[in-house]
Structure 1
Amino acid sequence: MNYPEPIFVSETTSTNNYLANLCDRQNQPDMTTVYTTYQSAGRGQRGNTWESEAGANLLFSFVVFPEFLEARRQFLLSQVTALALQEVLSAYTPDVTIKWPNDIYWKDRKLCGTLIENDLTGTCISRSISGTGINLNQEQFPAHIPNPVSLFQITGKRYEQRPILEQVLERAACYYELLKAGDAETIAGRYKEVLYRRDGFYPYEDEAGIFQARIIDIEPIGKLILEDETGLRREYMFKEVSYVL
């Protein structure tokens, strides 16, 4: 699948906001992309902000219009983006996994984060904007940011933003074509293969406290299925459980 020439902006408040405004003003094709090396008001999951050193990293958003996709299956869009990122970044360093639902981890540290914003028309998704920040060349991070890591810190090498962006878009476009063709099974299967902590028991925390459990499945709606050490099955949607790192 071809994708339009990515649009570079030297600075913006948020690439998600920039792209949403662009789409509101004029119809755009699938995979229209905006990227920058600095955003002043980037947003992350759970209402967090995304902090990034100016010029050091790759910040981008792309849009698709999956009107064929029911809202209850929107987790597939998260999987499409996460798989593209995991595959591309794995070519630069080993030990890259997807931490449910869509963070990209190197070992136990966060290399990349994504915020997906969907618009609905009826029961289907009319527009989906996926915004991602990849820590590329940042040498140090503020102390209050938990467990970040950059590709530079891992490999000791510096990276140009544009080639990595193009690689991610190419993989995302391929997975989106799979989604359009109705092959959700391949997407879900590959996602499970590269999950962070997919084997063994690890600590998690929910509203009742910390417990040890292992991942046994990810349901199509995105629900995380855990089994604790007593054999009890535990089910969680986003924000209902956290990893203890």
Structure 2
Amino acid sequence: MPNKNTLFIGKVVHDFQALSSTNSYAQNLLAKSKPIEGTVISAATQTEGRGQIGSKWESPGGQSLSLSVILYPGFLVARKQFELNMVTALALRDTLSVYARSTVWVKWPNDIYLGHRKVAGILIQNQLSGQQVQHSIIGTGVNINQPSFPPELPGATSLYLDTGNRHDLPAVASAYLHTLEQRYLQLRGGQHVRLKRDYYQHLLGYQEQRTYRLPNGEEFVAEAAGVDETGRLLLRMGGQLKAFGLKEISLVPDYS
């Protein structure tokens, strides 16, 4: 159903009971035509949902939100495309904070946490044209009404587990599309300073001493000092800043 609370995001919706991946469907749409900006693809169930760099995203039928939004941020230079992650993460945080009992955190680079546990993931796929972003597929998966998770996902949670209440999926989706549009319009309007300020305000571990882990298993304590314009995490260690890209560093989980 088209979203009544937005200017353009969600005015066209392709809604399915099941898809292999909403992002993949959006890619196929873009390969064949030029959907209007703000076109949404949603699925009650994703059979091959993906996270960042090939990780899998669990998407059981009727219990989670699986959405992809097509945008055309031609105003955005390629080296700053991580700002789309900021926009999406803040939109999810803005939305979930209305419902959640726990504090809603943005976890670099592409997750949303309720307290110490993951409730949502982001997968953004950008097509570049020269130095500009030609189009973007903003994919999100949000755990809403799951009563439990398998043992191999010890750090997962849902709004239901956080609040004890079941939530109306279309209502949460409508709220998210509204906040996504608001944050996207801030980016389009050049409000970069505000977006970064808000992102840091809700960034898990920002300006705190936390334990991080390298791919080889080595752990160390450092302070997150922010992100650079390309989206690398800046860690302060021994008075020096070092930048880490995707899969080069991870925050050691704390499920307490």
TM-score, length-scaled by structure 1: 0.95
1:2 corresponds to: 7
Paired residue type of 1:2: L
Partner residue in 1 for 2:179: 171
3-state SS of paired residue (1:11): strand
The answer to whether structure 1 residue 128 and structure 2 residue 143 are counterparts is no
Q: 2:51 corresponds to which residue?
A: 44
Residue aligning to 1:225: 234
The verdict on how the C-alpha distance between 1:146 and 1:125 changes in structure 2, with shifts beyond 3 A counting, is farther
| 1:59 corresponding residue in structure 2 | 66
- The alignment covers a number of residue pairs equal to 244
Distance 1:124 1:37 in 2: 33
Q: Structure 1 residue 32 and structure 2 residue 46: aligned?
A: no
Say whether residues 1:100 and 2:108 are aligned partners: yes
- Tell me the TM-score normalized by structure 2: 0.91
**1:185 maps to 2:193:** yes
The corresponding residue for 1:144 is: 152
Q: 1:91 aligns with which of 98, 102, 116?
A: 98
For residue 172 of structure 2, give the secondary structure of its aligned residue in structure 1.
helix
Matched, 1:16 2:19: no
Shift of 1:115: 0.5
User: Helix, strand or coil: the match of 1:133?
Assistant: strand
Contact 1:188 1:220 in 2 (8 A): no
Q: CA deviation at 1:123?
A: 1.5
Moved more, 83-92 or 192-201: 192-201
Q: Equivalents in 2 of 1:231, 1:70: separation in Å?
A: 31
Q: State the SS of the aligned residue for 1:59.
A: strand
Q: CA deviation at 1:146?
A: 4.1
Unaligned ranges ≥5, structure 1: none
Structure 1: distance between partners of 2:243 and 2:129: 29
Residue 245 of structure 2: aligned partner: 237
Secondary structure of the residue aligned to 1:169 is: helix
| 1:187 CA drift (Å) | 1.1
Does residue 109 (structure 1) correspond to residue 117 (structure 2)? The answer is: yes
- 1:52 and 1:13 map into 2 onto residues whose CA distance is 10
**SS at the partner of 1:189?**
helix
Q: Distance in 1 between matches of 2:127 and 2:86?
A: 17
Aligned to 1:159: 167
State yes or no: 1:198 paired with 2:206: yes
SS at match of 2:73: coil
CA offsets per residue over residues 157-189 of structure 1, 9 Å max, x none? Answer: 111111111111111111111111222111111
**CA shift for structure 1 position 207:** 4.5
Give the C-alpha shift of residue 198 in structure 1: 1.7
After the TM superposition, list the runs of 4 or more consecutive aligned residues in structure 1 that deviate by more than 6 angstroms.
none
Deviates more, 1:183-192 or 1:204-213: 204-213
Amino acid at match of 2:123: L
